[in-house]
Amino acid sequence: MASYEAVIGLEVHAHVKTSSKLFCSCPTDFGAQPNEHVCEVCAGMPGALPRLNEKAVELAAKAGLALHCKVNAYSLFARKNYFYPDLPNGYQTSQFSPPICEGGHLDVTVNGDTRRIGITRIHMEDDAGKCVHGQGGVSLVDLNRAGVPLIEIVSEPDIRCAEEAAEFMRQIHAILVYIGATDGNMEEGSLRCDANVSIRPKGEARMGTRSEVKNLNSFRNVQRAIEYEISRQTACLEDGVPVLQETRLFDAVKQMTQAMRSKEDAHDYRYFPNPDLPPVLLSAERLAVWREELPELPAPRIRRFMRDFGLSGEEASALISDKAAADYFEEALAVYRQPRRLIGLMQGEFLRECASRGISPAEAPMPPASLAGLAAIIDKDCISARMAHEIFPELFASGTSPEAFVAERGMVQVSDAGELDAVLDAVFAENPVEVKAYRGGKTKLRSFFVGKIMQKTQGKANPALVNELLLRAFSL
């Protein structure tokens, strides 16, 4: 790539988090039996008339506001004409001109370098169904997904590397989840993107021939697919082979893209206004209300966590990437305001337990107040950090008060110096040879004495105090 640069634009498709479809009242729940959530409208029956879902319009507009777009007071739905077996109407209902949102941006930082990526447009559309291939030698069509509301976020071709593309996708995901526009479940297809990739000689203003890589459904696949496509197109140009304008698919197993079909241009879709749907009209008053309802977004929240709680940029970014985790952290802080202790427990213990159980922090049986309580009894030397680590899985699953948990099991740490001095005397009396050797210079034996003291106290002795008392005793 020494003499070439990549030109990348993303089209991010997000399922809008509504209880019903875009133009009918069928539910949008994932995982139902095939064709269970289908009616005359989403099945494309002749004469069935669509009715627009107001909540989908609200969430599309809020996405535009969060991404610094102009939200149009007037937008139209159009028919995007193409044939595919899972498209029951024979067209997709989408927005062409004007869309609901235009002209936004998102700042993306990679390796300390921040660049502004333009957002061309955000438009609403309904999703297609799903083809299921290979059952009994035939292909079947499931229309449960047909009509589910989507927003498509189209970036300007401002992205210059695969890392920027993946980070752009991560930030879009975080913002849409924060404002409640999508559940963000990429495994279920709630968020996916198409990547338009071309390369050109550095310094050249003219665009190269682009390939579109379809249906990338993870941040890792976005990065790997684009890396492969840049490498493939570079090799073509260096070998004198023309790059074809085509649609390609990414094979995550083989880590390569493969040709799917020659690319159709937008004018082939023969857009025209949908006569069954009136224009979408949004008043300035309504937009003002929606703007006020926007929550604190990820970027300012990261800055606040760094400023107010002393978190590093890496800690804040990792925590805030999961809204449920960040909310949980703040709820725990409201009970016990020791952010350093809490972030340690969150990242070292709590999130690991959530991941091992496959649950969100919001679903954790351990309430935020219990995590705060655990942090407090560690800081009070009631238990050691090691003991907290050992009991955490059981404490997490039980959801009980940490204070009650350790008291019931007799696990309260011994931090009384007088009590531990008596234990030291007993250990010294039982091990005179080791005491003499230590005093003779074999100071590595300190761990031997710590182990004996822990054994006598059944692991309850405060390790820091034990070491302090040992040093004092051997200095006399």
Q: Which residues pair with 257 in a beta bridge?
A: 250
Region 316-321: what's the mean pLDDT?
92
Residue 219: CB atoms within 10 A of its CB come to 18
Region 23-38: what's the mean pLDDT?
94
Q: Token match 């003219």: residue? A: 206
The token pair that represents 23 in the structure block: 């133009």
At residue 2, the pLDDT reads 63
- Tell me the per-residue pLDDT of 266-301, one tens digit each, with 9 for 90 and over: 457 889 999 999 999 999 999 999 999 999 999 999
Q: Token match 């030291």: residue? A: 424
The token pair that represents 22 in the structure block: 């875009």
E strands in 202-309: 211-216, 246-251, 256-262, 272-273, 280-281
Q: How confident is the model at residue 403 (pLDDT cuts 50, 70, 90)?
A: confident
Listed in sequence order, the DSSP H helices in 155-218 are 162-178
* Mean model confidence pLDDT for the chain: 90
Listed in sequence order, the DSSP H helices in 431-462 are 432-439, 446-456
- Tell me the per-residue pLDDT of 57-110, one tens digit each, with 9 for 90 and over: 999 999 999 999 999 999 999 999 988 889 999 999 999 999 999 999 999 999
The fraction of the chain above a pLDDT of 70, given in percent, is 96
Residue 25 is classified by DSSP as -
At residue 413, the pLDDT reads 61
Flag whether pLDDT at 465 surpasses 80: no
Question: Which domains, from first to last, does the chain contain?
Answer: 4-285 (no CATH), 296-408 (no CATH), 417-475 (1.10.10.410)
At residue 309, the pLDDT reads 96
Q: List, in order, residues 6 or more apart from 447 with CB less than 8 Å away.
A: none
- Tell me the per-residue pLDDT of 169-213, one tens digit each, with 9 for 90 and over: 999 999 999 999 999 888 888 999 999 999 999 888 888 999 999
- Whole-prediction pTM: 0.83
- Tell me if 214 sits within 8 A of 247, measured CB to CB: yes
User: Helix crossing, 385-398 with 368-379: angle to 10°?
Assistant: 160
Region 136-140: what's the mean pLDDT?
85
